[in-house]
Amino acid sequence: MKTMETCAAFLAIRLRLNLHEKEIQRCFCNFLELKDRNALMRCIMQKFEKNECLVNKLGSWLGVGHRESLTENDVISLFGEDKLESFANGLHVSRQNLVMALAEMLPAIIRRYLLTDPYGAIQVEINWQ
């Protein structure tokens, strides 16, 4: 299953959405302002790279040992309250439930994608402090 489909399926299940998977994918693409569905991970990683604290959390997901979780504030920092509110409205869920779902989904998706990317298509500089 590709990353976009995995994200849509996760959100559908986690948020108990009564939307078709293609509609969820369309809302997700609009939320991230993606013109190309294949740019999903690059877009998400660029958002993380802009925030040093979040880059360090990302590093914890790729190593062994304790994995730091995303907080509601982390998700808001990544995407902004207005965009999250708009995405939540498109999915017909509360912003708080969406934020909690994204905080749960993003570490798993990123870890899966980066650890299975055999060509290193996305280069991430992690500050291992």
Tally of CA atoms within 13 A in the half-sphere of 113 that contains its CB: 25
Q: pTM of the full predicted structure?
A: 0.84
Residue 128 falls inside a structural domain: no
Residue from 99, 101, 110 nearest 74 by CA: 99
- Which tops the pLDDT comparison, 59 or 5? 5
Residue 32 falls inside a structural domain: yes
By residue range, what is the domain housing residue 34? Answer: 3-115
Q: What is the pLDDT of residues 87-129, one digit of tens each?
A: 999 999 999 999 999 999 999 888 887 776 644 444 444 444 4
User: Judging by beta carbons within 10 Å of its beta carbon (0-12, 13-18, 19+), is residue 34 exposed, middle or buried?
Assistant: middle
Question: The CATH number of the domain where 97 resides is what?
Answer: 1.10.10
- Is the model's pLDDT at 45 over the cut of 60? yes
List phi, psi (to 5°) of 33.
55, 45
Domain count, the chain: 1
Residue 11 falls inside a structural domain: yes
Residue 78 falls inside a structural domain: yes
Token pair in block for residue 28: 């997700």
DSSP symbol at 117: -
